[in-house]
Chains A and B, each alone.
Chain A
Amino acid sequence: MVKQKLLAVTITGMILILTLSGCSTLYNPATGRNEFIMINSQTEVGLGRSVIDDFTKEHPLVRDQKMQERVLSVGRKVAFVSDRKDIEYNFYVIEDKELNASTFPGGFIFMNKGLMDVLNDDELAYVLSHEVGHVAARHIAKKIQSNMAYQLLLGLAFAGAGDRTGGSVQTIAQGVDTVYNLIALSYSRKDEYEADRLGVKYAYLAGFNPYGSINALEKIKQGEGLNWKVLGYFRTHPYVEDRIKALKIIIPETIEKNRKGINGK
C-alpha cells in the first residue's frame, strides 16, 4: 500500500516536471517575472472582442457622452504609462447601478455607471489603473489559459477576429459563457495586491493623486452600509480591508520610487 502511494506520488511528480519543463516562459515587465503565457496579445484581443459584443447587448453603454469621454480621458492617461503597450485599451461606461468594473481579455474595460457616479477623478484613476494592472499583469489571460480548453480558446479568438469557422455557433456560445464565468470569478489575493501595486504606480505616473485609491475603496466599503449595490465589486475584487492596509504602505513607496521618473531627474 505504502509502495503504491509512493509510486503514485513519484509518477505525479514526474508528470508535473515533464509538463512544466516543456513550456517556454516570457518576461512580463508588469510583474517583473518570467511567466508561462501561451496566449499572445492579438489572440487575447480576439478573445475579448468575441465576448464584449454579447456583453454590451446585455449591458448597454451609457448614452451620456460626457461620462464616456471622462472614462476615456482618465483611462487613456493611465494606460499610456502602463507596463503593457502592445494592445489598445478601450474604456466604456455601462448602464448598471452596481458599484463594479469589469475587465475583459485584451484590455476592454467597462465601468458601471453606479461606480462612476460616486468617484472623483483621482479615485476613478485608481479603479481604472487597477483594472489596467490586471491586464498588464496578464491575470485574465492566465485565468483563461489554465481553465479553458485550448481549442475553444483559439476558436473564440478567431471568431473575435472575424473568422467564425473555428467552431459551431453552439461551441462559440459555450466559449463565451466560459469566459464570462471566469471573469465573474474573484481574483486571487496575490493578483489583487499586484493590481493595486500597479494601479497606484500608473495613477501616480499619470498625474493623479495615488491616495485616491484608499478613498475609492473606503467609498465602496461605506456604500455597503448605505445599501448601495456594492456586492459585485466585493465578489470580483475581494480582500478590500486588507488591501486598504497594504495601500497605506504601497503608496509612499511608489511615490518615492517613481518621483525621479516624473521630475525627469
Chain B
Amino acid sequence: MKTKIIALILIILNIFISALYALEISGMQIMMIAGASLKKQSVEEGSSAKIVTYEVSKPLDEVVSFYELFFKGDGFNVIGGRQNNIYDAAVKKNNVMFSLRIYSEADKTIIQFKW
C-alpha cells in the first residue's frame, strides 16, 4: 500500500514537473524555458484560437536564442523570426502549427503561444 502511494505521488510529481517545463500543443510537447511561469490563458474571439502566455525574468536575447536553437535542433519549419525587439514566428512540425511571439514587458520577457 505504502509503495503504491509513493508511486502515485511520484507520478503526480512527474506530471506536475513536465507541465512546468513543457507546453502541449495539439499533442506535441513544446519545451518551456526554465523559470517561465504561466501568466494567462485565453481564447481569441472570432478565430477561437487558444493563446497561452508565459513570463520569465530573463533577457529577451536569451529567450529568443533558446527557442531559435530548439526549433532548429528539433527540425521545426519556421516562418518569421526576430525583428528589432520582437520575435514573431509561425512554427510547424508535422501537422502541428502554432505561432510564437516573444517580447519585453517591463523587466520581464513575455512568451506567447497561439494555435
A22 touches which one: B40, B88, B94 (CB < 8 A)?
B40
Describe B's contact surface by its main secondary structure. strand
Residue of B nearest to A160 (CB): B79
Q: How large is the interface on A (under 10, 10 to 19, 20 to 34, 35 or more residues)?
A: 20 to 34
Contacts of A41 in B (CB 8 A): 80, 83, 88
Note all chain B residues with C-beta closer than 8 A to A23.
42, 44, 51
A148 to B112, CA, bound (A): 20
Q: A22-B42, A154-B115, A157-B79 are in contact. List 17 more A-B contacts (CB 8 A).
A: A16-B45, A19-B42, A19-B45, A21-B40, A24-B101, A40-B88, A41-B83, A146-B47, A148-B47, A149-B48, A150-B47, A150-B48, A150-B49, A154-B99, A158-B97, A161-B77, A165-B95
Knowing A22-B53, A86-B83, A166-B95 touch, does A158 contact B114 (C-beta < 8 A)? no
Query: Can you name the residue of chain A whose Cβ is closest to the Cβ of B47?
Result: A150
Query: Bound complex: CA of A18 vs CA of B45, how far in Å?
Result: 11
Cβ of A155 under 8 Å from chain B = yes
Choose one: A22, A26, A46; the contact of B79 (CB below 8 Å): A46
Known: A150-B114, A154-B97, A163-B92. Contact between A42 and B42, CB under 8 A?
Answer: no
On chain B, which size bracket covers the interface? 20 to 34
Given the known inter-chain contacts A86-B83, A161-B79, please indicate yes or no for A38 contacting B115, CB distance below 8 A. Answer: no
Are the CB atoms of B98 and A154 closer together than 8 Å?
yes
Q: Which residue of B lies closest to A161 (CB)?
A: B79
- The CA-CA distance from A41 to B82 in the complex, in Å, is 11
